[in-house]
Amino acid sequence: MRTLSTPSPALIMPPSSSSLSPPVINGRGSSTSSSSVTGETVAMVHSPPGSLPHPQTQSHPTKDQQALIDLLPDHAFLQIFSHLSTNQLCRCARVCHRWYNLAWDPRLWRTIRLTGDLLNVDRSLRVLTRRLCQDTPNVCLMLETVVVSGCRRLTDRGLHTVAQCCPELRRLEVAGCYNISNEAVFEVVSLCPNLEHLDVSGCSKVTCISLTREVSVKLSPMHGQQISIRYLDMTDCFALEDEGLHTIAAHCTQLTHLYLRRCVRLTDEALRYLVIYCPAVRELSVSDCRFISDFGLREIAKLEGHLRYLSVAHCGRITDVGVRYVAKYCGRLRYLNARGCEGLTDHGLEHLAKSCPKLKSLDIGKCPLVSDAGLELLALNCFNLKRLSLKSCESITGRGLQVVAANCFDLQLLNVQDCDVSVEALRFVKRHCKRCVIEHTNPAFF
């Protein structure tokens, strides 16, 4: 039987925020709170049942006096509540008994989103999951998504709560929560077998993704030791090394999306492990991984037709040789970011244009050896190009842009900042590509 102890809005919102001003919503169900707010979160639960108004204990208003919102059926309330954030649902649960029962309908709690630098997120998760476990003791069977990105006070205790109470978890985002460790992540992936989406970007202590030793021992050899994760973001996990990625790849063989931006200790050897164990990778980013070279791109090319998205921005050891490998074997590539790869020339662009005709987005900014000749080859082969960045390409002129505009009618974004391009060329682009947004640094063009 339900008890009327409702997690306080103060649990998930700093006390100095005005209770009269509604929180700002970012997207569906995400609320923001100012990082400048000071003070500690307060009460974990609200006052006893008697503090909530009940229809039978209130004076009965006449039909004319009754609030119009009270006339709505339950299903309409549930539809409205489905668009509210976590802390807003907690506020609604305090209005009256009817709203309490509706706000805690399990169907509304497939997602928990918490934000705030000062939030005691460990305690918030503990109290919320305890309330959601009242009808299904010890487990939250409906909860599938937990987003606590930016909650810097999150520790291993908070992830322990999630791992123990949320066996149906499918999505976990803890970006920027730099206090969590490998052990907590291991526990989550071990006890949440359906987890498919994991974002640990900025979690500098996380160096590996694996099962706990206890779970590994329990699994039979036939079952294997695989993790269901398909999407993994480890951007800014600076301590990740080749051996750590080897372990991740060996356990997460179903990976399709992997982001390793600024994992600066990785080398070409790590990519060899990745391709061996995860042949279905569709999107891969190794931007700013300075030790990745053409040998690494040769390994990536073994992904062949699966690869759609590749970012090797600012990988200074990459040249035409590596790009040629990718172009030859990954003909279904749609997106390539090679910004800052100063070894890339028109020859690499030629191989890319002829082998990847379905390319839709290309960033070759800060590649000083790319000229109009390479741009013309690109335009004559990649008619579906929608986004093109040539920022700071010193050898690009208006002639190359005009060929692009004359052949790539669907172009939607063109970046020619810090390029020597005339106003006439920019106007030519605008005439032929009506929907194109041009980012430029020419004050005469507007």
Least confident of 136-140, 169-173, 269-273: 136-140
Q: How confident is the model at residue 1 (pLDDT cuts 50, 70, 90)?
A: very low
Q: Is the predicted pLDDT of residue 323 greater than 90, yes or no? A: yes
Looking at residue 246, its pLDDT comes to: 96
Taking a C-beta distance cutoff of 8 angstroms, is the pair 203, 212 a contact? no
Write out pLDDT tens, residues 263-310: 999 999 999 999 999 999 999 999 999 999 999 999 999 999 999 999
Looking at residue 136, its pLDDT comes to: 80
3-state DSSP call for residue 414?
strand
Q: How far apart are CA 16 and CA 25, in angstroms?
A: 19
Q: How many CB atoms lie within 10 A of CB 362?
A: 25
Q: Is the predicted pLDDT of residue 326 greater than 60, yes or no? A: yes
Lookup: tokens for 202: 């900025």
Lookup: tokens for 429: 């682009």
Q: How confident is the model at residue 31 (pLDDT cuts 50, 70, 90)?
A: very low
pTM exceeding the 0.75 threshold for the entire prediction: yes
Determine the distance from the C-alpha atom of residue 414 to the mean position of all C-alpha atoms in its chain, rounded to a whole number.
25
3-state DSSP call for residue 245?
helix
End-to-end CA distance of the chain: 67
- The share of the chain scoring above pLDDT 70, in percent, equals 83
Looking at residue 167, its pLDDT comes to: 93
More confident residue, 215 or 180: 180
Q: How far apart are CA 183 and CA 219, in angstroms?
A: 19
Q: How confident is the model at residue 137 (pLDDT cuts 50, 70, 90)?
A: confident
